[in-house]
Structures are given as C-alpha cells and as structure tokens.
Structure 1
Amino acid sequence: MNYFLASQPAETVNVTVESSQVWEVLLGISGYTHAQLRHTFGLDEQWKTWKNTMSLELLQALKEIEETNLWYGMLLLQNHWGAKFIQDFLNAMDQESHQTLYEVLLPYHSQKTEANRKDTVLNYSDKIRFVQYAKSFQGHDYLEGYVRLLGERAIEDILSLMKTVTKEWHDFIRIQLVWDKWMQALRFEEKENQRLNRDQPVNEIQRVTGGAEYVPEPSVWHVKLVPHVSYRPWVLSLRTVDTKLLFYPVNEEYLTEPGQPSSVLISGHKALGDELRLQLLHTLMKGQQSLQELSGQFQISKTTLHHQLSILKSSGFISAEKGVYRANTDTIQQFSGKLNEYLGLKE
C-alpha cells in the first residue's frame, strides 16, 4: 500500500513588538529598584535628582519592591493582560481570581518542574508547596526568595503594594518634561517594527533589538519584544511557559536631538574615563579571562572588580558568559566611528 504524505508548513516562533505606558512605568520601577546594577543605568543620575521630588509613599513603596523583587511579578502580570493604560492594569488586579493570579505570578522554571508549579498554583493556600517549589531556583539571584514571598504574604498585601508603587510612579513620572518624548519614541519604535519577517525570527529579533541573541527554546512559540527607555542600556529577558520576553533599549535616534550626544557616547566615555577600567579592557583585548583570573592579576577584591566590569559591560565594551569575560572588538570599533560621526570628522 502506498501512502501519500502531504508536507506540513514548518512552525516558527511568532515575534511581535509591543510598547505601552504601562510597560515603561513597570520597567522604570524595575530599573530604579535594581540596587546591584543601578549605577550602570543611563537614568541613574537623573533618578538621584528626581528622588528629591518623590512622595514619601512612593519612596517607601520602591524600598519594598527592592526588598521583595515584586517588580518581576508586575512584568508577568502585564504580559498576561497587555494593558495599554495604567488604570486598566490597576483594575485588572481586582478582576482576576486568586488562582489565576498565582498562575501568572509563579515563575516558570522548566518542563521537569512544571507539574510542581501547577500543583502549587492549585494549592496556593499551602505555604509548604511554595517553599518546595522555591528550591527549583536555588542559587538564583532573586527568584528563590520571590517564590517564597508569594507563599508567605497574603495576595491582597502583594496586590496592594503593586497598585501603590504603579500609581505613585506613574503620577510622578508622567509630569516630567521627558515623558511625552519617551512615549512618542516608543510608539514610533513599535510602528516601525510592525511588519517582521516571520520566516527568519532569530535574525529579526537581533535586528530589532540591536544585537540581542536569541536561542530557540523548547515550547516557546511567542517572542515579545518590548522597547524601553528607563531600563537602558540593558536587555532584560523573562520566560513564561510559552513566551519569551525581551525588553530592549529604544533606538537612540528617536531620543537624541540634533547636536546632542547620544547616551551611548555619554555612557561609553564615562566607562572609559577610568584608569582601572581602561586597563581591564586592555587586558581583555588580549584574550578572555574569568573573574578569578582578573582579580588575581589586578590584586583587587572580586566585589570591586565586578562593579568595574559591570560598567564596561553596560556600555557594550565587554560581555560575559558563565563567569568568563571577553572584549567586544566590534562595539569598541563602532564606538570610535560614532564619536567621529558626532564630531563631524571623516573616517
């Protein structure tokens, strides 16, 4: 017997670009409360100035977010709801069942532990299950503690804090002179990337984000690209059961006025304006090295070294994988070109 097998179209990941004032507010909160890396954020100096005009209620809420890492859950909720306006985001918290909220808030770990995650959601009143699932994230910078917190705190208290910090930050940031310009830039970024080549999702992700590398993952069928201003210069990534989120810096051209240096030039020169950082970059140009190797060579503590390397990394001059650092020669060469271009010099 002969069988005719009709060819099936190859399935590829669906890539979309999405921006909104809600995403920008939540990413502003996420960046401001990222104590470990905040010194590398493009808006850090501005935040220090703005802090004097923040309400006491906002400052207290931001402190709690920093301690609890609930910014992570807020991003997961916005991914689930896709709210365009702040009030829609706030209203949605009152409309979902507790079980649905835990389903969204409890982070995905792997296919191997997915049954445990589902079981924890179904039995969200049992704190022990949260403790057990948190062990899946042992060693992670914050997710182990975040999962434990979800089991320890009443969902009403969690939502109350999320509502307060979201509303207060929005009320604060939207009166800043740059806010309307940010919103215009984000809308333009989204509009410019509405039509993506669905046959080459990996290439499109790299093009839109300005170089972010994406490796296809099992069961991920949707990649959501979210441009931002507040979290610059970093690319932040999150993963749900079936979706990968990549938050990437908006195109600098949409924010820079004629004659004004871009934040890339400013942060780059700040990164290079230090003798130790220049020496580190010079060393890494000769070959990749681990944090341990660099610490021994420069005879400084790993904490100090990590701080200096994070500044070079935020400017794109170096990158790290599994604790090994290497120089990004292409970025370094492009930086020189951008300076010449800004100064009107011909290469």
Structure 2
Amino acid sequence: MLKLGLETESLHLWLQNKRMDIFGFIETAHELGLDGVQINIIKDFGLDEKWGALGSASDEHLRKIRKMLYDYRMYIELDMRNLDYDRIMEVLEVANKLGVEIIRSYIPIKPSKTIKSDTGAEGAYDFAKVRCDFDETSYTEGIEKLRRVLPLLKKYRIKLALENHEYETSEELVNVVKKIDSPWVGLLYDFGNSMMAWEEPVKAAENMAPYCFSTHFKDHIIIEEPNDKYGYVVCGVPAGEGNIDLKTCFDIMMEKSSLTRINIENCYPYCAQFKRSVGTGGVTELGKGAFTIRKHPYDYNIIKPAQYYYPQEISNELLEKMLIDQMEGVKTTVKYLKALRDQYTNK
C-alpha cells in the first residue's frame, strides 16, 4: 500500500519554539498512523544552524534516530537546499547513516530586478507590466552543479529530487531533468508551490509526475494583501479547506508516476509571495480555480499574512493559538490524505 509521511515544516512552530524535538516529531508522526518522516535540514529560528530540524549530525544522535525509525518501521527522507558540492557530500554522508533513499533540494535561483509599473500610483502595479523573474543563468549553473554531484549520488545509491520551489515552472524542471538524463536525479512535486509561478497545480502534476521521486502534499488559497506588490499572496491551509484540486493531483501522481510514498508538508500557518511574472505558468488572472480569492484565516488587524510564519514576533498569546491551529491542521490533512488513498485503493 502507498506509504504516507510527514515533513517537519508541517509542525515548524512546534520545532522552532522548542515544544518538540526531532524525536517528538517522529513520535507524533507515528501516533498519527503515518509511515515515515521527511526532515528539513535548513537552519531557521530556533533550529540548529547547520542541521535544522534534525538537531545534530553526531553519530550518537543519528543512531538514536535510526533506531527509533527502525522500531516504528518508518522511512526517512531529508530536505536540503542548493546544490553546492561540499554540502551535498556531507548531507549524503548523514543520509547514508540514517538509511535515507531520497533527498530533496532545489536549484538556487538568482532573481532579476523587479520592475514596477508606470501607473503612477504608489504601490500600484499593472499585472501586465510587473516582472519578478530570475536570472536565466540559474538553470545553466544548476545543471553544471548537478552533473558534478552525480558520482556522489551513484556512490551512496541515494536519489536527488528537485522541487518546484516557488520560482520554477514544471516545464522548466522537466527540461533540467531531461538534460541531466540520470536515474539519480528526478523531481519532487509540491502540490502548491506552482501557484507562486502562476501555474495551476493540476498542470504541474501532469508534467512532473513521470519524473517524480517524492512529494509535498498541501493545500493553498489566495488572500488579499494590500502591502504586497500584487495585492494578493498565496496562503497555506489544511487539506480540503483550500482551492487546489487535491484529488485530481493525487490521482495523477498515482496513475503517471512510480511513487510509493506521499509526504505531507502542511504549510499552515504560512503565506508566500508570487515569484514570477503574471502568466509565466499559464495563469493570467486571479479569481478562478486554484487562484480563487478567499477570506483571511486570521484577523488582518491582529496579524498580517507575512507574519503568519513567526507569530511569536506578535505575541505569546497568538503563538499559543497558532500552535494549536497548526497541530489541528496537520490532523485534518492526515485524515484527508488517508481518505484519498483509501478512495483510490478501493475504486
């Protein structure tokens, strides 16, 4: 049966604010009836400077994690960023000790200059004239870095999955994988990140599925944010409470990929800006499909969308509320994904 896992970003408030460590996270995933974990090893507030939610890379620490996973019969994947040779080498060494088969990374994107519209109004932008794209050398350099680390991936027998990480369209990533042409480099389909590149998640699923090694399962809505350059941002919500056609995306993954796992990355509470020009991924306007505009999940007078990720910066009271909301959101998403799996398995 298809296995289900949980990414540490799903409980980032708990990990960053020391309400849970990596062992508590694994225990929580087990209690939720999940089969694995996906650990983000990127530094952030309250996390280890080098190993993020993992906490440490000492042999003793890694042995304890591996034993816990073995006892619970759970798999593990790692999420890192960038493609620097030295960093990938040390991550692969840690991954090998943990029994990891797949690590996620993404191509480091160098944004180009954002050009404001000439409407004359302060803060006003014309969708047809705003650009927020990337330096095209990003992919050329990324491909060169990927080719350099191929011998390492082969040595450790560990696959590298490139994520559609807000900037990249599905076509661009598929093109990268085709150019690399290696069984050790594939894709990680994030169910929501294509929206930041103005691409419908269903379209991204169709394009990426044949090359997928892993996933981030999530749901998104669009909410108004007057202070943003577009006036709107992408907002994470528990699965089933958003705009994404999750069933269709899930079915595409089942029919057109060789995936044996689906990992939840319930990014709630969280918001993200659009990273590319309007129309880059094929969507030219808001208000339809995955880009339907919805009401704010929190009172705008109390907390702004850009502040959702670090509510402790607003107040301890708000942090406590959002800790509860995040845990309940994870439970809702787990229940929703299990139902999708059961529905597909029993059809």
Normalising by structure 1, what TM-score? Answer: 0.25
Give the number of the structure whose alpha-carbon radius of gyration is greater.
Answer: 1
Higher helix share: 1
Greater relative contact order (CA < 8 Å, ≥ 6 in sequence): 1
Normalising by structure 2, what TM-score? Answer: 0.25
